[in-house]
A and B are shown apart, each in its own frame.
Chain A
């Protein structure tokens, strides 16, 4: 094990590194514990415009609801505002974005990595340039044609756009993974009488699996966290979580419901917790197998 070598440290070094980790964890996780805690308070406490300690003691929550904690934000977001609909929409969008971009990505990246032609390089470069374009410009350009063709507001349209925006990253990442897999592997499979596709399906893909999982996770995060595309391309009933949360915040002239937003933020983060817990090993081993290379 690597750790046996690296861990062979002096006490002081180990102490410093543990301290550092503790410090980092505090910085990384504290805002989320704070938000989680605050989501059970009323707005005036969590905002703490009077005094930040109100957020801990919950004075106003106590005077409004009779208890120091209240589930009013969650009730409002989930029951009144039907946040669950947005959750279902997000789940659909994420599922299809991940599946589609991985399918295109693996096939495309495999083809690119096995082709020695120059155009493959230029294709990758153009994909990269496309990724450099701020998504808001793209979306503003898509609006008019989508309305004209009656495609606007549909989940499927948004999925296609998100896949397109995400594809360059997927292609680059998977391409680096495939390059690590020796050509001899598919050649030997072909010698054994496999067709090109069979070689890909039965020999390459199993080796690639961790890489695919990792790439899939990044695609998932993109679809899950996207605001610009989903806010402008989805109609109200098809809205996903992030624009829905933004909608809770109110407009210039009218008050929003900030605590609904806070409760919804906590709710939206929860599935990510589960997901990272579940895939944590795969993320790390996936990256290991590929040793991603620019």
Chain B
């Protein structure tokens, strides 16, 4: 267990502090079906000799954290010096890959998480008031968005929101705009991604809240009614305090999951309009140019981000723990 938990964290941190050794290049002639051409190649033996000495690579300290792919300190400083208005500065910042990803990730996390909690809560209240026989079926269908593989769920929706797909066509009719396309504009794509996020995760909140409602203390509720509390007051002063711990749990898990948003961006081919920390990592690791150090750096930043996000919850847990001890 510890092996699987500690080692990866340590190795990721180590990796983020190193870059690859300098490769030694040689000029050679390459021939294929299409003819011969002079080209540059890596001199394998010479490079391997350097590598054998220090297998981890070149130690560069925090360089990876402050290069253009990440915190971009020098680009940031320059943007600050050369821009006059805040709008211009923002444009420059948004142009840098890490900040662009962080901005989307934060907007996504802080829009989707509250919305899904609210939606999940409303569904739970509404389902709870349904007739007993209907409940089973409704719960079952409500869970569908959560239990289907995100990669595939988002793919299905990608087909449906195409400007000629069923949802896309419906929206065009609805807004009376035949050129409306969710995939062509950045704001609409952001909204689409967030709607998907809420749709996908609301069932999680729903299931947990619904379970919480089952243990609602009857006597408190009844005495509240006798006291003449309105429906809203009962929800406000009895139901919500009762399920408050559940809200914390859902918020904890969902903040963490939404902060790592990846599947909808991949499924919707949305990287032109929105990137997240996780999609940046996927970019670094995919294909032929595998940049492990850059991916490790972004991962460490992601972990730090999650710790900061969750610090209020963690503080509370710590306090509880302390009391217990």
A147–B225 Cα distance when bound, in Å, is 66
Which of A77-85, A196-204, A269-277 is found at the contact surface with chain B? Answer: A269-277
**What is the count of residue pairs linking A and B with beta-carbon distances less than 8 angstroms?**
232
User: Of A129, A288, A294, which contacts B215 at CB under 8 A?
Assistant: A288
Q: Tell whether, in the assembled complex, residue A21 and residue B140 are in contact, meaning their CB atoms are under 8 Å apart.
A: no
Instruction: Report Cα–Cα, A99/B136, bound state, in Å.
Output: 27
Q: Specify which of A27, A32, A52, A284 is in contact with B165 (CB 8 Å cutoff).
A: A52
- A5/B221 in contact, CB under 8 A: yes
B317 touches A269 (CB 8 A): no
Q: Is the CB of A49 within 8 A of B164?
A: yes
Known: A137-B295, A140-B285, A164-B4. A292 touches B245 (CB 8 A): yes
- Interface bits A150-162 vs B (CB < 8 Å: 1, else 0): 0000000000110
Given contacts A52-B166, A291-B246, A293-B248, contact A132 B307 (CB under 8 A): yes
Given contacts A13-B231, A127-B5, contact A137 B296 (CB under 8 A): yes
Q: Which residues of A contact B130 (CB under 8 A)?
A: 18, 21
Of the candidate stretches A61-69, A118-126, A186-194, the one touching chain B is A118-126
B128 with A167: CB separation less than 8 A: no
**Residue of A whose beta carbon sits closest to that of B5:** A130
> Given the complex, which residues of A lie within 8 Å of B303, measured CB to CB?
129, 132-133
Q: Are B12 and A24 in contact (CB under 8 A)?
A: no
Which residues does chain A contribute within 8 Å of B272, judged by CB atoms? none
A195 at interface by CB-CB < 8 Å: no
A32 neighbours in B (Cβ, 8 Å):
144, 148
Q: Report the contact-size class of chain A (Cβ under 8 Å from the partner).
A: 35 or more
- In Å, the complex CA distance between A274 and B219 comes to 37
Which residues of the other chain, A, contact B126 by a CB distance below 8 angstroms? 17-18, 20-21, 24
Interface string of A23-55 (1 = CB under 8 A from B): 011011101101100000000001111111001
User: Which one of A17, A28, A141, A291 lies within 8 Å of B144 (CB-CB)?
Assistant: A28
Minimum Cβ distance to chain A for residue B223 (Å): 11
Confirm or deny: B21 has a beta carbon within 8 angstroms of a beta carbon on chain A.
no
A137-B212 CB under 8 A given contacts A9-B231, A121-B318, A132-B307: no
B39 in contact (CB, < 8 A): no
The interface residues of chain B, by DSSP majority, are classed as helix
Q: Is A134 an interface residue (CB 8 A)?
A: yes
CB of B86 within 8 Å of the partner chain? no
Query: Does A181 touch B at the CB level, under 8 Å?
Result: no
Secondary structure at the A interface, as helix, strand, loop or mixed, is: helix
- Contact of A7 with B307 in the complex, beta carbons under 8 Å: no
Indicate if the CB atoms of B5 and A164 lie closer than 8 Å: yes
Interchain nearest-CB distance for B275 vs A (Å): 13
Segment of B26-34, B64-72, B149-157, B181-189 engaged in the interface with chain A: B149-157
B215-226 toward A: CB 8 Å interface, digit per residue (1/0)? 110100110010
Q: Which of B8, B148, B160, B164 contacts A50, CB < 8 Å?
A: B164
Q: How far is the CB of B3 from chain A (nearest CB, A)?
A: 9
Q: Please determine whether B136 and A24 come into contact, CB atoms closer than 8 angstroms.
A: no
Q: Counting CB contacts under 8 A, is A242 at the interface?
A: yes
B306:A129 contact, CB within 8 angstroms: yes
Q: Which residues of A contact B289 (CB under 8 A)?
A: none
Q: Which residues on B sit within 8 Å (CB–CB) of A104? A: 1
Closest to B302 in A: A134
**Quick check: is B80 within 8 A (CB to CB) of the other chain?**
no
For residue B207, CB closer than 8 A to chain A, the reply is: yes
Known: A17-B129, A27-B199, A104-B1. A272 touches B147 (CB 8 A): yes
Which residue of chain B is the closest to A231 with respect to CB atoms?
B151
Query: Is there contact, CB below 8 Å, between A5 and B306?
Result: no
- Residues of A close to B192: CB separation below 8 A: none
The answer to whether B160 and A34 have CB atoms under 8 Å apart is yes
- A116 interface residue (CB < 8 Å to B): yes
B17 close to A (CB within 8 Å): no
List the one stretch of B89-97, B110-118, B308-316 in contact with chain A.
B308-316
A285–B11 Cα distance when bound, in Å, is 41
State whether the Cβ of B262 lies closer than 8 Å to any Cβ in chain A. Answer: yes
Contacts of A29 in B (CB 8 A): 141, 144
Complex contacts, B152 vs chain A, CB 8 Å: 242, 245, 265, 268
A246 at the interface (CB under 8 A from B): yes
Q: How far is the CB of B289 from chain A (nearest CB, A)?
A: 13
CB nearest neighbor in B for A51: B164
In the bound complex, residues from chain A placing their C-beta under 8 Å from that of B129 are 3, 6-7, 9, 14, 17
A294 to B319, CA, bound (A): 12
Residues of B with C-beta under 8 A to A136: 262, 278, 281-282, 285, 295
> Is the CB of B174 closer than 8 A to any CB of chain A?
no
Question: Which A residues, 203 to 244, have Cβ-Cβ distances below 8 Å to chain B?
Answer: 221, 224-225, 227, 242
Query: Would you call A118 and B325 a contact (CB within 8 A)?
Result: yes
| A93: Cβ under 8 A from any B Cβ | no
Are B9 and A130 neighbours in the complex by a CB distance under 8 Å? yes
User: Is B194 among interface residues, defined by CB-CB distance under 8 A?
Assistant: no
CA distance A272 to B8 in the complex (A): 32
- A176 interface residue per 8 A CB criterion: yes
**Apart from the given pairs A167-B1, A291-B245, 9 other A-B contacts in the complex at a CB distance below 8 Å:** A6-B125, A21-B126, A24-B126, A28-B199, A31-B156, A117-B325, A140-B285, A225-B148, A280-B136
| 26 A/B residue pairs, CB under 8 Å, sorted by A | A2-B128, A14-B129, A17-B125, A20-B126, A25-B138, A28-B199, A35-B156, A49-B162, A52-B168, A126-B9, A132-B256, A132-B303, A164-B5, A167-B4, A221-B147, A225-B148, A225-B150, A242-B152, A272-B147, A273-B140, A276-B140, A276-B143, A284-B207, A285-B211, A293-B245, A294-B252
